[in-house]
Amino acid sequence: MQAQDIKIWDLFVRIFHWSVVLMFMLDFWLIEDDGSWSLHRILGYALGILLSLRIIWGFIGPHTARFASFFPTPHRVAKHLQDLKQRTVDPREGHNPMGGAMVLLLLLMLAIITLSGWMQTWDMFWGEDWLEEVHEIAANLTMYLVGIHVAAVVIMTKVTGIPLLRTMLTGKRTGLLVTHNDSKQ
């Protein structure tokens, strides 16, 4: 076996991830919507644009960025749980099936947040309380999901020994790869 740097996350996925973290946290915790071109709205529009680009990238980007590579099918979930039991998680894997489910859920929630925020600026929805409620509930639920996501990263790093945070910062992880000759020994 040999240790090798393995490219997992491309630059766009990493920029998307950390930009969304920064903008969502600022909008959620610090910035209030106080006018038509408030910083809250500008960040919300930027999030919407980034989200649209990420959805496109999920179909045309590199393998680990594609939704098809981490869509959580029952077979993938069962295989991943078996791999965890046997401690044979592939270090080349991007999102595992549960991580993939969380990614899809977070993208959906961001879509609901950005769309409901944008719709509040439309004349036909101006002042609609139900739309503001949808926006707030979606943002609060997303913050809850972020907490679960961060806890899962910490737990999976301990369980698998794969430094997930470092991987999302650098795009690479070091792993032991079994070569063809090693597998015969």
Task: Give the tens place of pLDDT for each residue, 3-13.
Answer: 678 899 999 99
Residue 87 — very low, low, confident or very high, per pLDDT cuts 50/70/90?
confident
| pLDDT tens profile 12-61 | 999 999 999 999 999 999 998 777 778 999 999 999 999 999 999 999 99
Residue 160 — very low, low, confident or very high, per pLDDT cuts 50/70/90?
confident
Q: What are phi and psi of 4, to 5 degrees?
A: -150, 140
Higher per-residue pLDDT: 37 or 76: 76
pTM for this model (two decimals): 0.88
**Rounded Cα–Cα distance for residues 3 and 99 (Å):** 25
Q: What are phi and psi of 183, to 5 degrees?
A: -70, -20
Q: Check the CA dihedral 114-56-76-149 and report its sign.
A: negative
What is the residue-wise DSSP string for the chain? -EEEEEE-S-HHHHHHHHHHHHHHHIIIII----STT-HHHHHHHHHHHHHHHHHHHHHHS-GGGSHHHH---HHHHHHHHHHHHHT---TT--S-HHHHHHHHHHHHHHHHHHHHHHHTTSGGGTT-HHHHHHHHHHHHHHHHHHHHHHHHHHHHHHHH---HHHHHHHSEEEEEE--TTGGG-
In this structure, the chain runs to a length of: 185
| pLDDT tens profile 117-149 | 999 989 998 888 999 999 999 999 999 999 999
pLDDT at 153 over 50: yes
- Distances 49 to 54, 67, 124, 166 between C-alpha atoms, Å: 9, 18, 23, 26
Do 7 and 172 contact (CB within 8 A), yes or no? yes
For residue 103, which of 154, 45, 148 has the smallest C-alpha distance?
A: 148
